[in-house]
Amino acid sequence: MAYDGYRPVSFLQAKGAKDIGIEFHSWSKTYNMTGWRIGMAVGNAKIIDALMRVKSNLDSGIPQAIQHMAINAIRGPQDCIAEHNAIYQKRRDSLVATLNKIGIKCTPPKASLYIWAKVPAGYTSAQFAARLLDEAGVVVTPGLGYGPSGEGFIRFSLTTPDERVAEGIKRLETWHKKQK
């Protein structure tokens, strides 16, 4: 999942990384399999072995039907990834342009289904999220929910259908006009 030709780097590309760590990957974003909780871990064999032992004691595994769907997704044609990315990029570009136009500062993410925007001065992330919900009918996530470093930001999602994103943008523009 990336935009504008950006190719995210793998932690495992760093020299010696495979000796000390692992990297997790999920089918959630790449293949639109959110909620199915299927992914993989790659890297240091000892850490993978320890992870496998912990995981096998926590649950009974992923349902076989989901495993087969994931196998088909990764072995099948991969053009769906570019198609999905184009859809998300269009949503990202529209929302980022609107947010910056109405004074909610943000930078377009290089690879994400979410946009992090700076909360205007004088608000906490929860206060501004509540204001957008109450006054504009737009749901965002307060950044504080992601830890102390998230305070001062709100998170917009690009995972809703195009019509809902367009409706959210319209609501934000209407709300902004009422502020003047």
Catalogue all structural domains in the chain, each as residue range(s) with its CATH number: 11-76 (no CATH), 80-179 (3.90.1150.10)
pLDDT in tens, the chain (180 residues): 889 999 999 999 999 999 999 999 898 888 888 888 899 999 999 999 999 999 888 887 788 999 999 999 999 999 999 999 999 999 999 999 999 999 999 999 999 999 999 999 999 999 999 999 999 999 999 999 999 999 999 999 999 999 999 999 999 999 999 987
Supply the pTM of this predicted model: 0.83
Per-residue pLDDT reduced to its tens digit, 102-117: 999 999 999 999 999 9
Query: What's the first-to-final CA gap in the chain, in angstroms?
Result: 37
Element (H, E) at 172: helix 162-179
Size of the chain in residues: 180
Give me the half-sphere count of Cα atoms (radius 13 Å) on the Cβ side of residue 160.
14
Contacts 24+ apart (CB under 8 A), 78-82: 80/31, 81/1, 81/30, 81/31
